[in-house]
Amino acid sequence: MLDVDQLAAMPETDRPDRADAYAFLREQAWEAIAPGFAQRGEIEALFDELVEYDDTFPLSAADVREVIRELWAKRMEELAVAGPRDPSDDHRVEVAFAALTSSGVVASMNLGNDRGDATHESISLIRDGRGGPGFVFFHRQDANRLAYPDATLYVGFDAAIEDAGERDRVAREVAQKTVSELERQGLQVSWNGSLETRIAVVNVNWRRPLPD
C-alpha cells in the first residue's frame, strides 16, 4: 500500500484524476481492511492524512470515509459466509506462529512495513527478552496480498547472531521448524531450502475477523 510520502512524490502527470483516485483508494483501502489487522479508525486516520497532506488529491475526507465504510461492510458480509476450509487459513497460520513462539522463536505477523522493518523490529523483540535468537515474520506488505483469494503468503526468517556460520545454522533450523509447523496445520508450503529464499504459503484464503 502506498503511503502519503510516496503519493506526494509522484510527478503531477502521474497523479490520479477523480475516477482514478476512487480506483486507487478502493484498492489501497481494501488491502488495509481485508487482512484484518487494522482497526477501522486506524485506516480512516491513514487516509485522512493522505487527503490533508496532498492538496492535489481529488477526493475529500468524506469521500474517503464513505469508501472505507462501504468496503468494511463488504468484508463483514464476506466473512459472514462460510469459507472454503475449516479451520480457516488465517487460524492455521496463527496456530503455527503460536507454536513457534512457544518453542522460543520470535514469530510475528504483520510486523513492520517491509522486510527491513520486520527484521529490525524482530531483533528489538529479541533484545527485549521475548525469545530468539531465531525469528520469523511476515510484514505489512506481505499481509496486503492476503486481501485476495488464493494468495501467497511469504514468511521471512533469520537469526540474531553475529557469527555468520552460527547464524546460518540457526536460521536454517528456524526455517525448517517453520515449514514443519505450517504443514502440520494443513497449509501448502513451498521452500527451496535456500537461506536467501523466503518460505511461501500458497493458495491461502485469509478470513481473519475484522477487529472490533
Residues 159-183: tens digit of each pLDDT: 999 999 999 999 999 999 999 999 9
Kindly tell me if the per-residue pLDDT of 134 is higher than 70: yes
Q: Do 41 and 124 sit in the same domain of this protein?
A: no
pLDDT class of 57 with cuts at 50, 70, 90: confident
DSSP secondary structure code for residue 85 in this structure = S
Please give the residue that has the higher pLDDT: either 20 or 166.
Answer: 166
State the pLDDT at residue 59: 81
Kindly tell me if the per-residue pLDDT of 2 is higher than 50: no
Q: Do 62 and 103 sit in the same domain of this protein?
A: no
131: containing domain: 89-204
How many domains, in total, are found in the chain?
2
pLDDT class of 13 with cuts at 50, 70, 90: very low
The letter for the amino acid at 171 is: A
Whole-number percent of the chain with pLDDT over 90: 79
Q: Do 152 and 199 sit in the same domain of this protein?
A: yes
The letter for the amino acid at 73 is: A
> Rounded mean pLDDT of 102-123?
97
Task: Report how far apart, in Å, the C-alpha atoms of 21 and of each of 1, 30, 75 are.
Answer: 14, 14, 21
> Rounded mean pLDDT of 146-156?
97
Q: Do 11 and 107 sit in the same domain of this protein?
A: no
**How far is residue 46's CA from residue 43's CA, in Å, rounded to a whole number?**
5
**Nine-digit cell string for 125:** 523483540
